[in-house]
Chains A and B, each alone.
Chain A
Amino acid sequence: MMTDAVTFRGVSRHFGTVKAVDEVDLSIRDGEFFAMLGPSGSGKTTCLRLIAGFEQPTAGHIEIFGERAVGVPPYLRNVNTVFQNYALFPHMNVRDNVAFGLRVKGVGKAERHRAAEEALELVELGGYANRRSGELSGGQRQRVALARALVNKPRVLLLDEPLGALDLKLREQMQEELRKLQRALGLTFVFVTHDQDEALSMADRVAVFADGKIQQVGTAEDIYRRPDTRFVADFVGSSNVLPADLVGVGASGQWISLRPEDVVLDPAGREATVTGRYFHGRVTKLSLDLAGQSLTALIPAREDAPDVGETTKISWDPARVHVMEQGA
């Protein structure tokens, strides 16, 4: 059996009465792109800091490649972090920033500079070695932070909302590059984000966090199509969470998840009242009232979408309805 890159067993990190991370079990496989997704304060960043060693758990065991990590300080872990605000050293140029990890390990000047240049090539910042971090754009700083981490050849790379500060276009470009880089290097990436699109499009597997606990771990498809909890259904893709009785799937008392894009306008369907209509470009979002339950539908944008106050008829493919294990 292959050793997992990171294993959490019953890990908790409490700050006084605040349970930032509460009895989390988790295993991250070697070489996978693993995303931790959740709203702010859900414990995902604390989990990342536990892996990096900036925080120590108040309870539980953490293993990195089978070795006990509890009590090991960050500088003795073969794990590197790309910080949310990049945390580049302002008193050093780009080369010295990237070479820092090698310098503290005692690698000679010529060799560490060569390695730094190589790492900068990897992130396509070849000619920038002599620049100061203050002279770089956000996207370039991001790449320097990445090169600074990768130059140490970590076995696990931790990324704390690394794309949060970038504008949309740059973010999409970096998403693609990060994914390529991860495949090319075969490294384990642990990626923290609150952006569900980012998590779903990039990661091999996603863990959804809420209130210090993991709600669900699975592939993007799993998370999206088959959410375990109401929280996951709602947070990832704003699904409609409805009582099973209303939809006619599953047993009474259970809850189902129905994706807004799976709701279609259908003259042979059930009657619903339109309570809101929002134009989003490619799609139009309709807020509907179906027998007293509110429901959202995303329909292809058309001129004749029903307006507020009108009644329309809707239906859905019962195969798309997912009965959740935990209704609460």
Chain B
Amino acid sequence: MSDLSSNAAIFAPRSGPLARTVDWIIRHPRMFVFLMVLPITLWLGIVYIGALIALLIQSFFSIDEFSGIIVREVTLKTYGELLRPYNLDIIVRTVGMAAAVTITAAIVAFPIAYFAARYAKGKWKALFYIGVMLPLWSSYLVKVYAWKLVLAKEGILNWVFAKLHLTWLLDGLLSTPVIGGNSLSVSYIGTFLVFLYIWLPYMIIPVQASLERVSKDLTEAASDLGATPKQSFRMVLFPLALPGVVAGSIFTFSLTLGDYIVPQIVGNSRLFIGQAVYTQQGTAGNIPLAAAFTVVPIVIMGIYLWGARKMGAFDAL
């Protein structure tokens, strides 16, 4: 202990506010983590969760039908209104669309993700990432309007069908009740195609990530044990990639559920949940009903996420 000079050689003396701060952090790691997490917790807690709670409360208020003034008394009247056939149709339509988009996105994304995870190497992999991510960098509105032009009666798609003498096929498709219409740009088929295009990257990336983690040895082992390619897909590859598919479906499903711009630009005049919220809180001034509409996707997503968690979907995020 008497020989301090040898100690000083190992631990150089520290001074100055920065060094003292670092020393303090090293001695109080938990306190440091707390301080780091505090701002984001406050933001999430107050701005995000708080706003949601305010919204939830609004949905239990009702509107006076004569004066249009919000009655601040807790009632289930607004929810009763939500369950009227007209409003229920909106919910069913939106959930149906979200489900169709999600399932199709999964089917389309899987082979792309599989190719990227298994075969793409080096610059092909880079090309894959650019190809998938690049559309996300351009404006959402630009893409939707571009699609409106592509799908319009005078648009390029109609022209291609005409050139291929397949106009009858397109007309046949458009004459299908409910999902058809005058042209693709005013039909549910059009809305569906645009949703599919816009949200596809959100499906491809998690599926690719989950496939990336299924080692090639496992499919080889399945094959070695006598599984045909079909069997090894069904019994090994797909179950192991499922968490990624579920993770991707959370994105595609919830994004479709809440969107109000795509069906407004491409589609017919029948409303989706997002549009219903928009009109109720805007032109109609019925904030309680708008809030009640907003609760629907939250509840659906809550149930969906609970199920997804059970399937281990969050291991792949």
Query: Which residues of A does B touch, CB under 8 Å?
Result: 52-54, 73-75, 79-81, 83, 85, 87, 89-91, 100-101, 103-105, 148-149, 152
Please tell me if the beta carbons of B220 and A87 are within 8 angstroms of each other in the complex. Answer: yes
B227 within 8 A of A: yes
B63 within 8 A of A: no
By Cβ-Cβ distance, the 5 closest A-B pairs, closest first, are A101-B225, A87-B217, A87-B221, A104-B227, A74-B223
CB distance from A90 to the nearest CB of B (A): 7
CB distance from A116 to the nearest CB of B (A): 12
In Å, the complex CA distance between A75 and B215 comes to 18
Please tell me if the beta carbons of B226 and A75 are within 8 angstroms of each other in the complex. Answer: yes
Given contacts A89-B236, A90-B240, A91-B239, contact A104 B217 (CB under 8 A): no
In Å, the complex CA distance between A83 and B222 comes to 12
- 11 extra interface residue pairs, beta carbon distance < 8 Å, beyond A83-B221, A85-B215, A100-B225: A52-B224, A75-B225, A75-B226, A75-B227, A80-B224, A81-B224, A87-B217, A87-B220, A90-B240, A91-B239, A104-B231
Partner of B223, one of A75, A89, A148, A149: A75
Inter-chain residue pair count (beta carbon < 8 A): 63
Contact mask for chain B residues 209-247; partner A; CB cutoff 8 A; 1 contact, 0 none:
000000101101111111111011001100110000000
Please tell me if the beta carbons of B223 and A100 are within 8 angstroms of each other in the complex. Answer: no
In Å, the complex CA distance between A73 and B232 comes to 13
In Å, the complex CA distance between A81 and B218 comes to 12
Measured between beta carbons, the chain B residues less than 8 angstroms from A89 are 218, 221-222, 236, 240
CB distance from A232 to the nearest CB of B (A): 31
Please tell me if the beta carbons of B217 and A83 are within 8 angstroms of each other in the complex. Answer: yes
CB distance from B119 to the nearest CB of A (A): 15
Measured between beta carbons, the chain A residues less than 8 angstroms from B229 are 75
Measured between beta carbons, the chain B residues less than 8 angstroms from A152 are 225-226
Please tell me if the beta carbons of A104 and B226 are within 8 angstroms of each other in the complex. Answer: yes
Interface residues of B: mostly helix, strand, loop or mixed?
helix
Given contacts A91-B240, A104-B231, A104-B235, contact A85 B217 (CB under 8 A): yes
Partner of B215, one of A54, A87, A101, A105: A87
Please tell me if the beta carbons of A80 and B225 are within 8 angstroms of each other in the complex. Answer: yes
CB distance from A161 to the nearest CB of B (A): 13
Partner of A54, one of B218, B220, B236: B220
In Å, the complex CA distance between A52 and B218 comes to 14
Measured between beta carbons, the chain A residues less than 8 angstroms from B224 are 52-54, 74-75, 79-81, 149
- 10 A-B pairs in the complex with CB atoms less than 8 angstroms apart: A74-B223, A75-B232, A87-B215, A87-B218, A89-B240, A90-B240, A103-B235, A104-B222, A104-B225, A104-B226
Given contacts A89-B236, A90-B240, A91-B240, contact A100 B217 (CB under 8 A): no
Measured between beta carbons, the chain B residues less than 8 angstroms from A104 are 222, 225-228, 231, 235
Measured between beta carbons, the chain A residues less than 8 angstroms from B235 are 100, 103-104
Measured between beta carbons, the chain A residues less than 8 angstroms from B217 are 83, 85, 87
B222 closest partner in A (C-beta): A100
B213 closest partner in A (C-beta): A90
In Å, the complex CA distance between A90 and B218 comes to 9
Measured between beta carbons, the chain A residues less than 8 angstroms from B225 are 75, 80, 100-101, 104, 148-149, 152
Please tell me if the beta carbons of B220 and A100 are within 8 angstroms of each other in the complex. Answer: no
Measured between beta carbons, the chain B residues less than 8 angstroms from A87 are 215, 217-218, 220-221
CB distance from A117 to the nearest CB of B (A): 17
Measured between beta carbons, the chain B residues less than 8 angstroms from A79 are 224
CB distance from B315 to the nearest CB of A (A): 11
Measured between beta carbons, the chain B residues less than 8 angstroms from A91 are 239-240
Measured between beta carbons, the chain A residues less than 8 angstroms from B218 are 87, 89-90
CB distance from A189 to the nearest CB of B (A): 15
In Å, the complex CA distance between A100 and B235 comes to 9
Measured between beta carbons, the chain A residues less than 8 angstroms from B223 are 53-54, 73-75
Measured between beta carbons, the chain B residues less than 8 angstroms from A54 are 220, 223-224
CB distance from A122 to the nearest CB of B (A): 17
In Å, the complex CA distance between A52 and B226 comes to 11
Please tell me if the beta carbons of A105 and B226 are within 8 angstroms of each other in the complex. Answer: yes
In Å, the complex CA distance between A152 and B224 comes to 10
In Å, the complex CA distance between A53 and B222 comes to 13
In Å, the complex CA distance between A89 and B218 comes to 7
CB distance from B310 to the nearest CB of A (A): 14
B223 closest partner in A (C-beta): A74
In Å, the complex CA distance between A148 and B226 comes to 12
Given contacts A83-B221, A87-B220, A91-B239, contact A100 B215 (CB under 8 A): no
Measured between beta carbons, the chain B residues less than 8 angstroms from A103 are 235
In Å, the complex CA distance between A101 and B225 comes to 5
In Å, the complex CA distance between A152 and B223 comes to 13
A81 closest partner in B (C-beta): B224
CB distance from A91 to the nearest CB of B (A): 5
In Å, the complex CA distance between A178 and B145 comes to 68
CB distance from A228 to the nearest CB of B (A): 33
CB distance from B81 to the nearest CB of A (A): 46
CB distance from A80 to the nearest CB of B (A): 6
Measured between beta carbons, the chain A residues less than 8 angstroms from B239 are 91
A91 closest partner in B (C-beta): B239
Please tell me if the beta carbons of B228 and A75 are within 8 angstroms of each other in the complex. Answer: yes
Please tell me if the beta carbons of A101 and B226 are within 8 angstroms of each other in the complex. Answer: yes
Please tell me if the beta carbons of A100 and B240 are within 8 angstroms of each other in the complex. Answer: no
A78 closest partner in B (C-beta): B226
Measured between beta carbons, the chain B residues less than 8 angstroms from A85 are 215, 217
CB distance from A151 to the nearest CB of B (A): 9
CB distance from B35 to the nearest CB of A (A): 36
CB distance from B231 to the nearest CB of A (A): 5
A160 closest partner in B (C-beta): B217
In Å, the complex CA distance between A152 and B221 comes to 13
CB distance from A158 to the nearest CB of B (A): 8
Contact mask for chain B residues 63-91; partner A; CB cutoff 8 A; 1 contact, 0 none:
00000000000000000000000000000
